[in-house]
Amino acid sequence: MKNYFLIFLFFITLNEIHGSSFSLDKYEIDIESNFLGEEIVIFGEKSPEHNLIIILEGGGKTVRLNEKIKKKILWINKSTKYESIPNFFAIFSLPKKSLNELFLITKIKKNHYLISDSSQKLFKLRKALEQKSLYFEKPLIETDENLFFSRFKIPDNINSGLINIYFYKILDNKVISLTKKTLRIKKRGFIQKIELLLYNNSIFYVLILVLFAILFSLISNYTLRKR
Partner 1 sequence: MNIYLPIAEISINIYLLLTLGLSIGFLSGLFGIGGGFIASPLLILAGVPATIAVGTTTIQVFASSSTGAINHLQKKNVDFQMVGFLILGGFAGTVIGVYSLKAINATGLIENYLYIFYATILSLTALFILYEAAKENVKKRKGKFKLHAHSWIHGLPLKIKFRKSKLYISIFAPVIIGFFIGLLTGFTGIGGGFILVPCMIYILGMTTVSVIGTSLFNITVVSLISVILQVLVNKNLDFVLAIILIVSSSLGAALASRLIEKIKIDTLKEAFGFLILIISSLLIYELLRTPIYLQTIDIL
Residues lying near partner 1 in the complex (CB under 8 A):
31-37, 61-68, 73-79, 81, 87, 124-125, 127-129, 131-132, 134, 156-157, 159, 187, 190-191, 194-195, 197-199, 202-203, 205-206, 209-210, 212-214, 216-218, 220-221, 224-226
Nearer CB in complex with partner 1: 14/213:
213
Nearer CB in complex with partner 1: 113/205:
205
Q: Closest separation between CB of residue 24 and partner 1, Å? A: 22
Euclidean distance between the first and the last CA atom of the chain, given in angstroms as a whole number: 64
String of DSSP letters for the chain: -HHHHHHHHHHHTHHHHTTS-EEES-SEEEE-TT---EEEEEEEE--TT-EEEEEEEEPEEEEEEEEEEEETTEEEEEEEEEEEEES-EEEEEES---HHHHTT-HHHHHH-GGGS---HHHHHHHHHHHHTTSEEEEEPEE-GGGEEEEEEEE-TTPPSEEEEEEEEEEETTEEEEEEEEEEEEEE-HHHHHHHHHHHH-HHHHHHHHHHHHHHHHHHHHHHHS--
Nearer CB in complex with partner 1: 111/192:
192
Q: Closest separation between CB of residue 120 and partner 1, Å? A: 10
Nearer CB in complex with partner 1: 5/216:
216
Q: Closest separation between CB of residue 32 and partner 1, Å? A: 7
Q: Closest separation between CB of residue 70 and partner 1, Å? A: 8
Q: Closest separation between CB of residue 49 and partner 1, Å? A: 39
Nearer CB in complex with partner 1: 142/205:
205
